[in-house]
Amino acid sequence: MMVSAPLLVFVAAVTGQATAFTTTPRTSTFATALHATTEAFSVGEEFANEAALFEASTFPISPEKLKERAKEVLSPEIALGTQDGGDCLADNFEFCAAVVGPIGKQEYLNALGTFKLQDGFDLRNNHFGMTVDPLQPNRIWLFSRIRAIHTGTFMGVEPSGKEIVYPPQIQHIDFDEQGKVVEFGFYTADRRQGNTGGLGGAFGFMYGVGKPLPIPECQPYKPSKRFRFLMFLGSLGRRFQKK
């Protein structure tokens, strides 16, 4: 099976399950927010002092305003840049999930423009649990629990009416001081839930309709032979210890 380059780019852009392009950390002035509030830490405390951390923050957008902005960019009218021509995205925007990216602004927009999930599914993202990170106050965290009905042709598969239920996913959105999105990514939080084989992003839809790409990243998690061997040795060691 031949896989087109645009499709591979799209898959990389919308899933937290693909192979990484690079592991180089992002160097950004906004990452300094993580270090700007260290005086608010108390050694030995189990929970961060959120009020003190936000009070010490120099990021100009308040947590409540940042939540409002996040809801705006997630709305169907903007859809994280895909419906507003990328106007909500900063020029240095990057998509970067657990093991994929970074992918720049234009590459992200080009990839998503070639592949429309809305044409194949009646889709509900079911976002909830939005919060601002007190240690990085330009970052929003939130959950999604996607549910979709296969109502249109997708990956050559005619509409089946099948319900696709995703595992919960954690998303992050980073903003600059002007309220533009500088980074977006997401990660599967519990691969044992749903009917996508624990897969997130576009891979979940592909698996859900029976058309996963022929690569390991598009299949449900399976321990490697080395890992299974190590688990076997651990189990064997525990048996001998009992004896």
Q: What is the b/e burial string over 3-32, where b = at least 16 CB atoms within 10 angstroms of the residue's CB?
A: eeeebebbbbbbbbbbeeeeeeeeeeebee
Tokens of 58: 């120099």
Mean pLDDT for all residues in the chain: 82
This prediction has a pTM of 0.78
DSSP H or E segment with residue 148: strand 147-150
3 state DSSP class of 91:
strand
- Say what the pLDDT of residue 118 is: 79
Distance CA 32, CA 93 (A): 17
Give kind and range of the element (H or E) at residue 131.
strand 127-132
Kindly report which listed range (58-62, 99-103, 221-225) carries the lowest average pLDDT score.
99-103
Q: Name all domains of the chain by residue range, CATH numbers in brackets.
A: 5-242 (3.10.450.50)
Report phi then psi at 156, rounded to 5.
80, 0
Other Cβ atoms less than 10 A from the Cβ of 199: the count is 26
Of 62, 83, 26, the closest CA to residue 179 belongs to 62
Give yes or no for a contact between 208 and 150, defined as CB atoms under 8 angstroms apart: yes
Amino acid, single-letter form, for residue 132: V
Cα gap 37→119, rounded to integer Å: 45
pLDDT in tens, 143-194: 999 999 999 998 889 999 999 999 999 999 999 999 999 999 999 999 999 9
